Structure 1
Amino acid sequence: MSDIIKYCHTVSISNQSFKFDHVHIKWDKQIHLHRQDFWEIAYIITGGGTRIVGDNVAPFSEGEVILIPPHIPHCWSFDEFTHDDEGKIENICLFFSTDLLIQLKTTFPELTEQITSINKISNGIEFKEHALVKLQDTLRLMLKQNPSERVLSFLSILSAIANTRNTNIVGQPIAEGRNTKKMQILELYVMNNFQNNISLNDVSKFMGMEKSSFCVFFKRNKNVTFFQYLTAYRITSSCKLLINSDLTISEIAYSCGFRDIPYFNRMFKKIKGMTPSKYRESKRHTPPLVGGQTKEVETSTEK
């Protein structure tokens, strides 16, 4: 089970003060759950799916820019339906150390207030409105810049981070307990297998537990049964496809792990309060938000 995730991850930064990383790869080639000693700024250009940041699991869509402080476990699990014409996703990441921030404050006293503000950030945060647009534009600009030009853009990004208060918390640090790691592994298992038929025997065997012990463990940690959680996750995933694809209701149900269409319709209405077709219609008539964002899909849990 421990081989499923790459929990400790080291970013290689040599001969440079920070790392600029641009990837354009197949949707299923992203790194699994990991953490690192560096700060990370992640900009999703193309793609959508589910992300884990610290203690939080949530859907994501293209356009988001997330700041992750050091040591917070995280990953983006891209779905197979949201990609470009080559079947690829695209993102930009910046990695930089706390030592760099300290050096900047020492070298440039004018940056003291801004660096101090950034160092106080302890949660994963998502940027909104004008700050989001500023960061998107600057990160895209860095694609065309040489290393020295990127230094100036990097300082501009730090300034934008320090000076905005329009953010949402998308994940908090977690206690490094044994149960926490088990739940993270289990969440990854669901993210990677929810499209398939999952039995209690399958998931308990994967976790290395007896079925009865697994049921008690899950209920104690999530306050719902495993299959209530799985159903809610599948419904949330179907919401993204209803908004972002032209697949039929039956195709969406099947691709999200439902083999019984009437059951899918019934559970969707129970959790979302409307039929899948009504949900699709209501969301597609909702205007986009500032900065190219789309409204985030609600996450409901059946109880």
Structure 2
Amino acid sequence: MPKSTIPFVQCAKNFRDGTIDLRNYGQFNTEMHAHEQVQVLSPTNGTLFIYTEKASFCVPSTFYVYIPAHVPHKLISRSQQLSIKTIFLDMNNMHEEVKVYPSNELLNHFLTFGQQYWKLKDHDMLTTATLEALKAMLPILLAKPILLQITPAKSELMIRVSTYILQHLDNKLSIAEISAKFFLSERTLFRQFKEEMQITIFQFIKQHRLLKALQLLENKDMHIAEIVYQIGYESVPNFSNLFKEYFGLSPQQYRARL
């Protein structure tokens, strides 16, 4: 579905400390907005994309994303069954930037407990105690972010190069082919790409092939081997190893969580 036709969702800005919001969104798009509280979100049944003024981030199903207070951001989903669990916390920022983390079972249990008991009037002391415990433990629970940040191209040349790569992920891309396409030496392309995009051209290709795989895995009728060929790889075992190295679980394990 083109971005222009994705339903627009208005975001509330203020919530009570410890509010846990669980909603089915499907495909949606928000305005750029900010909250006065720290947010921790976890999508299920699809992939969530978060855009800030500096970068964009991909959040796979059951992973977590930390959004600091007062950081402008917008959310986009192209997944038809996407749900999002969000907790709003009155606390100092752990970081000043958005960060993405793997799924965390203990944090899952904390939020499940909060959903069941924090709204009950006769559990005020329990709510306060467990909420403060969660805030104290959050830097430990979310200690190891993973690199799912996508830095946008700025120059006309890098916009053209990155667009070409994204349009040909199913091909056997090489730096020789790409540099010839844009009349650059391989060394110049490699250097300029890394300076502007903050990752090498090889890392960019791998990152976007794996992000495309996330979206293709949502179609459970598509075999893993078919996905592998659609993102430009030839070996299912090699793809599975790369996927697990990047996301911490195999393609089959990820699909089982959708």
TM range, smaller chain: 0.5 to 0.7
CA offset at residue 24 of structure 1?
A: 0.7
Task: Name which of 90, 93, 108 aligns with 2:86.
Answer: 93
Change (3 A) 1:35 1:55: same
Corresponding residue for residue 135 of structure 1: 110
CA deviation profile, 1:82-126 (whole Å, cap 9, x unmatched)? xxxxx32111223344xxx5xxxxxxxxxxxxxxxxx36225464
Counterpart residue type for residue 278 of structure 1? P
Of 233, 247, 269 in structure 1, the residue corresponding to residue 222 of structure 2 is: 247
Tell me whether 1:278 sits opposite 2:237 in the alignment. yes
CA distance 1:248–1:181, shift in 2 (3 Å): closer
CA distance in 2, matches of 1:151, 1:53: 37
Write the distance in 1 (CA, Å) between the matches of 2:194 and 2:152.
16
The answer to whether 1:23 aligns with 2:27 is: no
Q: Who is 2:95 aligned against?
A: 122
**Shift in alpha-carbon separation, 1:149–1:137, aligned structure 2, 3 A:** same
Q: For residues 152 and 124 of structure 2, what CA distance do their matches in structure 1 show?
A: 37
CA-to-partner distance for each residue in 1:45-68, whole Å, 9 max, x for gaps?
A: 432255557877554333234332
> Structure 1: 5+ residue runs without aligned partners?
81-86, 102-118, 173-179, 184-192, 199-210, 259-263, 270-274, 287-292, 298-303
Contact 1:41–1:95, Cα closer than 8 Å, also in 2: yes
What number of residue pairs does the alignment pair up? Answer: 214
Q: Percent identity?
A: 11
Residue-by-residue CA offset, 1:217-276 (whole Å, 9 max, x unaligned): 8653225687x676334311244357664414686379x7x6xxxxx2xxx36xxxxx2x
- Structure 2 runs not aligned, ≥5 long: 5-9, 155-163, 170-181, 184-188, 252-258
Taking a change above 3 Å as real, the CA distance of residues 94 and 154 of structure 1, as seen in their structure-2 partners, is farther
- For the 8 Å contact 1:49–1:76, the answer to whether it is kept is yes
- Tell me which amino acid in the other structure corresponds to 1:63: T
Q: Normalization by structure 1: what TM-score?
A: 0.47
- Which residue does 2:179 correspond to in 1? none
RMSD: 5.4
Q: Output aligned runs, 1:73-112, within 5 Å.
A: 73-80=72-79, 87-97=80-90
TM-score (normalizing by structure 2): 0.53
